[in-house]
Amino acid sequence: MSEKEWDHFTSLGAFRPALSFLTYSEGEAVGVIVGFEFGAYAEETGIRDLYIPLIGTRRAARKRGIASALLRKVLTEAKAAGFG
């Protein structure tokens, strides 16, 4: 993803920085997870749902449990923040 594409992606109203995380190894980003929340849906239903449009790891960092750890982290944080 280019810097321009990333800037667009993170400028969307649904982007939730508090529910988006990067993992680093030796100073290099090796994993990412991004959380979105669609406010109109929450207003209509009264239910806060977290949508994860992006989760990934660099090829060299795969098979180390990074994506699973990121998913556990974001789900724990979302639950604490009142997501259903």
User: Which DSSP string do the residues of 25-49 spell out, in sequence order?
Assistant: ETTEEEEEEEEE--HHHHHHHS---
Q: What is the mean pLDDT of residues 15-21?
A: 96
CA 6/CA 29 separation, integer angstroms: 14
Q: 3-80 domain in CATH 3.40.50.150?
A: no
pLDDT of 2 reads 82
Question: % helix / strand / coil in the chain, to the nearest 5?
Answer: 40, 30, 25
Classified as helix, coil or strand, 16 is strand
pLDDT of 74 reads 97
Q: By mean pLDDT, which of 6-10, 30-34, 60-64 is the weakest?
A: 6-10
Domain boundaries, the chain: 3-80
pLDDT of 5 reads 83
Give the residue, 36 or 43, on which the prediction is more confident.
Answer: 36
pTM here is 0.87
pLDDT of 67 reads 97
